[in-house]
Structure 1
């Protein structure tokens, strides 16, 4: 009887959404051949989709080592589909390493990994949305699905484990340090940014910086090319492909028949986050000065619950902007537009993906993702970037003014303790929610031909219109006590004082704050009577 096998290059396992909206599972070979027919990867979680995308990018890089520079990239882009010849040749060369059940070198696993005395663990330790010993927050599984998993889904979660697994104590001592203690997996420490195109073909190329400085194909290598994980002692990435396929865990899947029943998970190759901007292209960075006088770049993570557009000041950071440093994804997209490899008016999507861990990094508390559409010129043009960022500042000022009004209305009504602050936060978030769709539509309308001053004024009119509508609702809903008013304390210590505050006064203060925040909306028009 032949050994069991599940060849990821020929067996369908990658869940995708096709152009007609239907879902399908494709093998690696089929996916690359049909990437132009696929809208997006559509796995169980957005983080899983990112993990699969990073595998595809690694294979594409290793299949096309001779393609260098924006001009070469442009030729690939204009073809409209991937040429399967080189990709097929590469997959043929390494086909045995893509076998999930290979007896010696199973894909992304260590065949010799032995379970601890307590035995193997259930598949809950492989799945991000599955409760682990009471620590999980939610699950999409019930019944028998809690106990076993097919090979296709196991492969997807295996990639996710290496990319986003939580830290802490694992079931078995493994890795170079022969320890059970593991750091958060590599992608879990990043604020992932994915550039999306109309099809998966476009998405793959948009996330494929291939300038000469981006990698040395003769030095770089994927995990399956470098030997077994347990033999890897180095913690210095050889290049972007090494990072894309970084083995953050040492794993072995335990199967019976055609189902994965259990797993063994231990620490993998440790990798510090600092100064990896030359090899990690899918995140932005923060700069910080060390006491030794050196400069450290560290991945900038996303704030859970904050929409992507509110984080644009960090995403579209300029070189030298305070403590921010732009990611390679943004620099590459700018280069493609500047070199006219992407045409004027090219629409792209920006998507952020991330996870929030508990304070010890031992469990995933929340996963989040968000995206928006904009023209590539908004990313490439310093003027349009500055306009998009300043518009977020306008929204911040409008939302803060609304929050201040809600707080003062609460104080005027006699509320005390945490209540005024809570009302302030609720109103501020309501302001952002009201501006969410308008900002996305306004951003999408920006082009290389946009009149900057008119676009700025148009957005500020939108901000003031929405926050004033919400302010009117707050004032109309004020309690009788707030309408009557009362004396409230302001300041502390020697500067403390008591002032009278009612709903009318709070509203006037709000209107003044709006006029101060947006003076250009109230400036005398040219030609107006003196």
Structure 2
């Protein structure tokens, strides 16, 4: 007698780690019992008890960013907020906020209706996978689990968190594998992949995932319930759920060599942009994943424009592109781009569309930035994960756009003196070492490590105190302190003292050229009106 095929249904199986809100004092409902709070939950329990969950506790930022998009789509579909009609969309969402939780009957009906599409190992519709890969790819040349798990080294890549033995890989559980399945769909690299043959087309290269190298911004409330509702993008009046389909809702698998299915609204836009096709291979028990196929999904590129959680910028050539993830850039430097309709900057950044309505859910929303600093192909640099204090609501409460404008001014001032400090120490180093040109140096690294954390603390202090008048002098003093500390050791030599003194003018904007006929150049005064 043959055994039952492996199964791991994401609706019921615990796979999403969560952090629970503190227990409500005096509440004796069974669902509030502290003993009934598992470390991980399935999708049904996550939605049912979202009002009791503080946040999803996934430690891998790109996996959380990807999962958020899946959860937004599920929330929109379950609540009927996937369409603008009937009535007013914002009013319907506000009614849900007032209820304080998702209706248990609605959650049960929704998860029951969709349960069969969330089995990770279903032979016909495995969740976010293509079962055809078993026949279209070479079974003797699979990707393997080390390549599937994006935090492991594979091939000639460096080790991040652990060393592995490719001859005897540590097999992941389905709960671990599905998170990295999501990372591949959203952040997968371009370039070489497993060969896939579809009819007469045989190819072994793929396009980068839609979020590769980007930083996405998510509103977060006091509970997961608030976070999911605040993160919903408002659909256009022409969006219909019958055509705005998530990949697991389609009856037929798409043709890989034809044009990708069109994005018809927020649900498909959040879940159907992947350029990679994957298939997980479970062991006989279904408790471990023993192998994986990873290859291209479509020959044509799916546009990534329109993602509502990215800051979109304009290149010098006039092309729109999402702000890239930079592990060295603190989140406060993006705050004005999240709050202002038209923030300052030559790149003309546009704030994520979701923030135009997010504050309707709560005035105490934080911003969570999640991303992955990468290049377009195989190089992965660093995860990015940062959270602001509650900031979205106070712009609505306190003097509106005037505060947001001051936030933008603080950011500009902080970056101005950071950039001046960077040039000053590089110029001083070049003069001290007699280098042929100004370039990166150890002084620049040391100065940045001293200045930027101090500038961030200054930013949040002045924002909290609503003290904006003396900000230029405050940031200038921070730059001066960092410069003096980093260059102090060179003052003991004539060459060093001369180089440090000459380069210091860069902290104040550098030399100023006089008008023609006035005798050449002069140096800028050490204190300008702007710096007072």
Q: Fold conserved (TM > 0.5)? A: yes
Partner of residue 311, structure 2:
284
| Aligned match of 1:125 | 147
1:356 partnered with 2:373? yes
> Who is 2:352 aligned against?
327
What CA deviation, in whole Å up to 9, does each residue of 1:133-188 have, x standing for no partner?
12244134657994311122122222222111112222131679653211111221
Q: 1:76 aligns with which of 73, 90, 96?
A: 96
Question: Which string of whole-angstrom CA distances, capped at 9 and with x for unpartnered residues, describes residues 84-132 of structure 1?
Answer: 3223222211211111111211111122322415333320121111111
Query: Are the equivalent residues in 2 in contact too, given 1:399–1:428 (CA < 8 A)?
Result: yes
In structure 1, the partner of 2:521 is none
**Superposition deviation, residue 457 in structure 1:** 1.4
Which segments of 5 or more consecutive residues in structure 2 lack a partner in the other structure?
Answer: 24-36, 509-523
CA–CA distance in structure 2, aligned partners of residues 190 and 420 of structure 1: 27
Count of matched residue pairs: 482
What is the deviation of 1:391?
Answer: 0.4
Match of 2:52 in 1: 37
Distance (Å, rounded) in 2 between the aligned partners of 1:163 and 1:55? 11
DSSP-derived class of the 1:264 partner: strand
* Partner SS for 1:132: coil
Closer, same or farther: CA 269–82 of 1 in aligned 2, 3 Å = farther
Indicate the residue corresponding to 1:110 in structure 2. Answer: 130
Cα distance in 1, alignment partners of residues 51 and 140 from structure 2: 48
In structure 2, the partner of 1:299 is 322
Q: How many Å separate the matches in 1 of 2:221 and 2:479?
A: 34
Q: Distance in 1 between matches of 2:430 and 2:294?
A: 54
Aligned to 2:450: 430
Q: Secondary structure at the match of 2:293?
A: strand
Distance 1:217 1:391 in 2: 43
Offset, 1:28: 0.4
Partner Cα distance (1:110, 1:79) in 2: 39
Matched ranges for 1:232-311 at <5 A: 233-235=258-260, 236-246=262-272, 247-256=274-283, 257=285, 258-269=287-298, 272=301, 274=303, 276-277=305-306, 280-287=307-314, 297-311=320-334
Alpha-carbon distance, 1:13 to partner: 0.8
Aligned residue in 1 for 2:40:
25
Greater Cα offset, 152-161 or 465-474: 465-474
Residue 365 in 1 paired to residue 381 in 2?
Answer: yes
Cα gap change, 1:437 to 1:141, in 2 (>3 Å): farther
In structure 2, the partner of 1:192 is 216
Corresponding residue for 1:156?
179
**TM (normalized to structure 1)?**
0.80
TM-score (norm 2): 0.80
1:54 corresponds to which residue?
69
Change (3 A) 1:513 1:131: farther
Does the CA-based 8 Å contact 1:330-1:379 persist in structure 2? no
Distance between the aligned counterparts of 2:183 and 2:364, measured in 1?
29
SS of the residue 1:386 aligns to: helix
TM-superposed deviation, 1:470: 3.1
More displaced, 192-201 or 348-357? 348-357
**Structure 1 residue 301: Cα displacement:** 2.4
Superposition RMSD in Å:
3.3
For structure 1, which segment, 198-207 or 185-194, has the greater mean C-alpha deviation from structure 2 after superposition?
185-194
**What is the rounded CA distance, in whole Å, between the counterparts of 2:48 and 2:68 in structure 1?**
15
Q: In structure 1, what is the equivalent of residue 194 of structure 2?
A: 171
Indicate if the aligned counterparts of 2:235 and 2:266 stay in contact, CA closer than 8 A. no
